[in-house]
A and B are shown apart, each in its own frame.
Chain A
C-alpha cells in the first residue's frame, strides 16, 4: 500500500538511528560513511530550505497550470460542470504526485508535500460540489457536513497510508474527531451532553494506540505519523476538558436555554481537569522520560495558567507576570545547577547539537522577532509577546 521503496525506508530508519550516535561522538565519520554505503537510500529529500522553495514553486505551477487548463477547455462541455472539472484537476495533480514519487523518488522534498495537499483539497472541493449539485437526498446541512467529514476522513486516511505524511496523519485524526462529534449530535438524543467525554475517550484510545505501536516493527514506516498523532491526541484529550473550551463550545451549541445562559456542568470535574492534567502529563513525561508527554505538558501548563487567569483575578496582570517570571527564572536556575552533574539519568547539558544546515541561529531569530522594544515611548510596551517562546522547543 505504501508507495515508497520499503528497503530504502528501512535503510533511512537505520541511518537516522545511527545519526544520533554520530552527533554524540560515539561513531566516527568513516564508520557512518560505511553504513551509508551498506544501507543506501535513493530518495530525493533535500534540506528544509530547498524543501520550502520547492513547495512554493510547486504551488505556483499547480495554480497557473490549473488556470491554463481551465482557459483552454473553457468552451467545451466539461467545464460547464464545475464539480466534475475540479475532480479532473484533482486527478491530474494526484497523477503528477504519483509520477513525482515513483519515477523521481521524491520523499519529503516539498514537491510531494505540496501535491499531496493540493490533490486532497481538490478532491474535497469536488466532492462537496458534486453532492450539492446532484441534490441527493441530503436535505439538512448536518447530513452534508457528516458526509463531507466522512469523505475527508477516508481520503486523508488513504493519503496517510500511501504517503506516510505526518501532517496528513494529524489531519486524519482531527477529521475522525469531527466526524464522531457530528455523528453524536445527529444520531444521539443525548449526543450534545456527552461531547467532551466522547472526545476525551476517543483521544485517549488513539493516544494509547499510537503510543503502544510507536516502536512496533509493523508500523516502522509510520513512526513520524505516530509521533504527530500522539502529540495531537494528547492536546485534544486535554482541550476537551478545558473549562474555557467547554464553556465556549457550550455557548455555541446551547446559548440561552430555558434555564438561562449556558453554564458549564460539573465544575467539580472540569476545573481539576483543567489545572491538573498538564502537571500529570509533565510528571509522567519526566517519570517515563517521554519527550512528547513532557513538552506537551509544559505547553499545556501555560494554557492552564491563562485559562485560570481568565476567570479568577488574584493579582493584577503585571504583578503576576513579574512573579511568574521570577519563579521561572529561579526554578530553571536551580534545575540547571542541580543537574550539572547528571542525576537519575537526567542532565541539563545538550547531548548533541541540533543544527539546521546553513548555520542558521534559530535562537537569535526568535529573540529578534519577539523583542521589538523601543525605549522612546511607552505605548509600544504592550504586546511584548507574553508567550513568545512557548513553543520554541517543540521540534517534533
Chain B
C-alpha cells in the first residue's frame, strides 16, 4: 500500500484523519489473502475426487466388489451431507451467507457423489428399470431441493443441466411420434419450452422474492437456450415460406429481455440480447439480399454491415451511459 499517496490526499483535504489512521494501521500489519487459492484447490480436489470415483465405477462395473464401491461412495456422500447439515444456517427466502468456502465445496462433493451413486445403482441393478425418464428425474429433484435448501448456486446449475437431460430423455418418444409432422430436429420444441420455463423461473423468483439471487443463473441458461432453439428452428425450416416467424419470435423475446436488463441494470444481458437481436436482423437482411442476387445487392450488404455495426457501437455506448445514470 502506498502510504505517501494517502498522506498527500490527507494534506489536500480529500480524506479524513480517521481514514488515514485506518490505512496506516493496516499498512503496519499487511494481510495477504489466500482466499482464492484455497477455493481453487478445494474445487480442484472435489473435481478430481469425483472424476476418480467415476472412473473407478467405470472400470469395476463388471468385476466383483460392487457392494464395496457403492458403500465407499455412499460413505463419502453421507459424510459430506452430514457435515453440511451440521454446519448449515437456517433456511430463508433471502440469500443465506454460506458458513465458508469449505462448506460450499463439500456440498458440491456430496451432490456429485450422490449422482455417481444413483448412476451406479441404475446401471448395475436397474433400480428404475428401462424408465430413463425416472432415472434422471429423481436426481434432478434432489439437486433442486438441495440447491434451495442449502442455498448453493453451483448445485442449482447442475440441477438445471439435469433438467435439460431429463427433458431430452422423456421427450424423445414423443418426438419420434411427431417426426412425421415436423422435420429435421425433434428437440427444438422441447428446448424452446425449457428455455422459456427457465426464463419464467427467473421472473418468478424475482417477482415473489423467493431466492432472488438465483435469478441470474436461471436467466443465463434461459436466454441462451431459448435463443439457440429459436435460431435452430429458423435454420431447420429455412425453405418454409413462414420461417421468418422464428426470427420475429427472436426479436419479440429480445425486446422483453431488453426491458428487463435495463430495469435491472445488467450489462451482461444487455449486450447478449442486443447481439442476438443483431444476428437475427442481419440474417433476414442477408437472405433478402441473396434473393436479389446482383452486384448492387452485394455492395448494399457490405454497406449494411459497416453501417449497422457503427450504429450498434453508438447504441451500446449510449446505453452504457444511460444505465449508469439510472
Contact = CB atoms under 8 A, between A and B. Distances in A.
A21 interface: yes
Given A54-B316, A374-B165, A381 B52 contact: no
Ordered nearest first, which 10 A-B pairs have the shortest CB separation? A325-B49, A321-B52, A328-B45, A368-B157, A375-B119, A325-B48, A322-B52, A367-B154, A329-B45, A318-B55
A328 B50 CA distance: 13
B19 A27 contact: yes
A345 B49 contact: no
A46 B57 CA distance: 49
Interface string B4-15: 011001001011
B19 A350 contact: no
Contacts of A298: 37, 40-41
Q: Which of B39, B43, B57 has the most CB of A within 10 A?
A: B43
Interface in B277-312: 298-299, 302-303, 305-306, 309-310, 312
A366 to B, nearest CB: 8
B38 A348 contact: yes
Interface stretch (A159-167, A185-193, A205-213, A352-360): A352-360
Interface in B53-77: 53-59, 61
Given A339-B34, A351-B35, A378-B123, A326 B49 contact: yes
B19 A56 contact: no
Interface stretch (A64-72, A168-176, A237-245, A247-255): A64-72
A342 B31 CA distance: 8
Interface in A321-348: 321-329, 331-333, 335-336, 339, 342, 345-348
A77 B53 CA distance: 67
Nearest to B161: A372
Nearest to A390: B44
B279 to A, nearest CB: 11
Q: Which of B48, B53, B310 has the most CB of A within 10 A?
A: B48
Given A61-B310, A64-B305, A370-B47, 19 more contacts: A27-B19, A31-B16, A50-B320, A111-B313, A325-B50, A332-B41, A336-B38, A336-B100, A358-B267, A359-B216, A361-B153, A367-B43, A368-B158, A368-B217, A373-B112, A375-B136, A386-B48, A390-B40, A392-B43
A34 B52 CA distance: 55
Contact of A27 (B15, B36, B169): B15
A26 interface: yes
A393 interface: yes
A21 B23 contact: yes
Q: Which of A358, A360, A363, A386 has the most CB of B within 10 A?
A: A358
Interface string A1-34: 0000000000000100110110010111001001
Nearest to A373: B115
A44 B313 CA distance: 13
A74 B105 CA distance: 61
B58 A382 contact: yes
A358 B268 contact: yes
Contacts of A359: 216, 266
Contact of B35 (A47, A349, A372): A349
A261 interface: no
B173 interface: no
Interface in B246-286: 265-271, 274-275
B309 A57 contact: yes
A359 B40 CA distance: 20
A350 B136 contact: no
A65 B302 CA distance: 7
Nearest to A295: B37
A378 B119 contact: yes
B30 interface: yes
A1 B167 CA distance: 60
9 contacts: A24-B26, A50-B317, A54-B317, A318-B55, A328-B48, A332-B42, A345-B30, A348-B38, A378-B58
Contacts of A320: 52
A31 B14 CA distance: 6
A53 B160 CA distance: 27
A195 interface: no
Nearest to A59: B309
A65 B50 CA distance: 50
Nearest to A350: B35
Chain A: interface residue count, which band?
A: 35 or more
Majority-rule SS of B interface residues = helix
B22 interface: yes
A372 B31 CA distance: 37
Interface of B: 1-2, 5-6, 9, 12, 14-16, 19, 22-23, 26, 29-59, 61, 100-102, 105-106, 108-109, 112, 115-116, 118-119, 122-123, 132, 135-136, 139, 153-154, 156-158, 160-162, 165, 169, 216-217, 220-221, 265-271, 274-275, 298-299, 302-303, 305-306, 309-310, 312-313, 316-317, 320
Given A364-B154, A371-B112, A384-B50, A335 B119 contact: no
A255 B148 CA distance: 58
A92 interface: no
A376 interface: yes
Contacts of A389: 40, 43-44, 47
Given A54-B313, A375-B118, A38 B14 contact: yes
A82 interface: no
Given A295-B37, A335-B34, A347-B32, A364 B156 contact: yes
A193 to B, nearest CB: 38
A35 interface: yes
Q: Which of B41, B136, B266, B298 has the most CB of A within 10 A?
A: B41
